[in-house]
Amino acid sequence: MVGPGDKFDYSFEPLWGNLPLWWKWGNVSDMATDSQGRIFVLDRGAHPMVVLDHDGKFITAWGEGMFRVPHGLYIDGQDNVYVADCGYHQVYKFSRDGKLLREWGTKDGPSATFYGEPFSAPTGVALGPSGKMYVSDGYGNYKVQVFAPDGSFLKSWGKPGTGPGEFALVHSIDVGPDERVYVCDRENRRIQIFDEDGKYLTEWGGMNLPVDVRVKGDVVYVLEEGNDWASGGTMYGPSGVSIFSSDGKLLSRWHEGERGTVGLYNIHGITVDHNDDVYATQIYDSRSKVPFSPGIFKFVRE
């Protein structure tokens, strides 16, 4: 539990993670940690799944030729690895060494937009304590898709709009230990929170563009993309990280240019390790007015 004396102060460690000689990051979409503290990095480059140790040392890589636009990454309690591919309109389940165990959706077969069937450009996946799988079905459907522990489809909720339970781009998703479902409603600039049946509970606004969310215990970590670089970087303000208690209290927040951060622009994915260190991924945006490189940023809890 978060106590009144808990501090969430972080120092910045830029461009973390070591790759083999001559390798380079493509567009780093998302990250997740397994039970051994290994960090999985989902990349849109030549090596889609890169595995690093806690110090950023390269361990292995897999996934070549498996994805089109890998978007969201999740690792469950048995270290199974889930990937949401918004290019192929599918969700995949792998063993931690890259063996394909199951897939959902039809490759290159998106469902009719807004009609609710899985999937139309899914963006994220997460499992709840009950074993249910929740998918943010993201760029095409504006839905949350729910699957039973056996993998069968159960239900969906959501529709386009700005009201409660409505979405303007479902960009990521995670589930808390109480089965509360946290959804990044990116273009509405808020996190919406639901119970496991899709009942709207509350929302957290006042953000830039929430692109990813991770729940660890009773702490919720949100990655906020900032400036609209296509229009000169003046629409939203700088990118950054916000940390909340599960009841919505803001515990910590920092943006590009604060706490020593440099180069935090088109951020996309977030994860938290066993030490509560925070990692943010960055993809390159050709519209940018400012030169920057794709990669990983680490924030070390002090």
Instruction: Report, as an integer, the average pLDDT of 246-255.
Output: 94
Residue 192 has pLDDT above 80, yes or no: yes
The mean-pLDDT minimum among 37-51, 109-123, 204-218 falls in 109-123
Give the global pTM.
0.95
Q: Is the pLDDT of residue 232 over 60?
A: no
Residue 222 maps to a domain: yes
Tell me if 1 is assigned to some domain. Answer: no
Whether the predicted pLDDT of 283 surpasses 90:
no
User: CA 219 to CA 230: how far, in whole Å?
Assistant: 33
- The answer to the question of residue 2 being in a domain is no
Query: Average pLDDT over the chain, rounded to whole?
Result: 91
- Residue 185 in tokens: 């409603």
Q: In this structure, is residue 285 part of a structural domain?
A: yes
The total number of structural domains that make up the chain: 1
- With cut-offs at 50, 70 and 90, classify the pLDDT of residue 231: very low
226: CATH: 2.120.10.30
Read off the pLDDT of each residue in 118-128 and give the average, rounded to a whole number: 97
For tokens 């409505």, the residue is 166
Extract the tokens encoding 36. Answer: 């051994």
- For the stretch 81-103, pLDDT in tens is 999 999 999 999 999 999 999 99
Residue 287 has pLDDT above 80, yes or no: no
- Tallying the residues shown for the chain, one arrives at 302
Range of the domain at 240: 10-301
Q: What is the largest CA-CA distance in the chain?
A: 51
